[in-house]
Amino acid sequence: MRIATFNVNSVNARLPNLLEWLAEASPDVVCLQEIKCEEHKFPRQAIEDAGYNSFIYGQKSYNGVAILSRLPAEVAQVGLPGDREDVQARYLEVEVALPGRAVRVACLYCPNGNPIGTEKFTYKLGWMERLQRHVTQLLSLEEPLVLAGDWNIIPRPGDCYSPTAWMDDALFQPESRAAWQRLLNLGLTDAFMAVNGGEHAYTFWDYQAGAWPKDHGIRIDHLALSPQAADKLAEVRIWRAVRGREKASDHVPVSADFDF
């Protein structure tokens, strides 16, 4: 079973890129972030023609997450619990049916948090606290769980081309990295670190300042696994070549293969 995450940076603007990659990689489940559209404007028919059902939590012009599945699935949670006033579309969770078991897959788009010292950074840290509480409950179910998405957190200095360049960015603040580590301390596994762990393997290159040709990237797209999912992890791949294609997203897909 192949589960992937892909921040598409507008699903309608990048639809040809997405469809090309789906045909190439043949994932079973894909978590999309920054779809930047409401549900009625999501390209559902094109996705269905590619062989996938769509589960969507959209928002006009900003944010928005979706899960595509070739397997039977049901929505388990829309929106991150813990704040009824939060209307940002950043979290969607489904249960995917496999013979004899279910796999829970959550798609998340963590807040960016910039600039630091503002309410945006406070929101980022508060969102991560809510996520930790929710994940604690999910782990108590003792089932395969995959949390896949754009986490907007650079876990290690080696996950960016220059720690100095990111020192004042919310993605690399000690508080942000500590929030990520607290989730791992609950029992989650960083899929990339479990299989590879090499430094300077990036998932995002900014459109500005020639970041892509200079390989000035960062690793912020992660799959975090419960013990029941980590035990079945076989391979992780960063689809780096996707970034070099015409009208590409500034992120690339990351996939994990499991022996479910």
The catalytic residues are 109, 150, 251
Question: Any binding-site annotation on 143?
Answer: no
Question: Any binding-site annotation on 17?
Answer: no
* Beta carbons of 89 and 58 less than 8 angstroms apart: yes
Question: Any binding-site annotation on 257?
Answer: no
Residues 67, 92: Cα–Cα separation, whole Å? 8
Assign residue 10 a region (left: φ > 0; alpha: ψ between -120 and 50; beta: otherwise): left
Question: Any binding-site annotation on 199?
Answer: no
Cβ neighbors of 257 (< 8 A, separation 6 or more) are 1, 2, 233, 234, 235, 236, 237
Question: Any binding-site annotation on 150?
Answer: yes
Torsion, Cα 179 180 182 185, to 10 degrees, reads: 180
Q: And the tokens for 68?
A: 């595509």
Q: Residue 187, SS3?
A: coil
Question: Any binding-site annotation on 250?
Answer: yes
The sign of the dihedral angle between the CA atoms of 180, 32, 133, 102 is: negative
- Give me the amino acid identity at 138: L
Per the annotation, binding residues for Mg(2+) are 7, 34, 150, 152, 250-251
Per the annotation, binding residues are 7, 34, 150, 152, 250-251
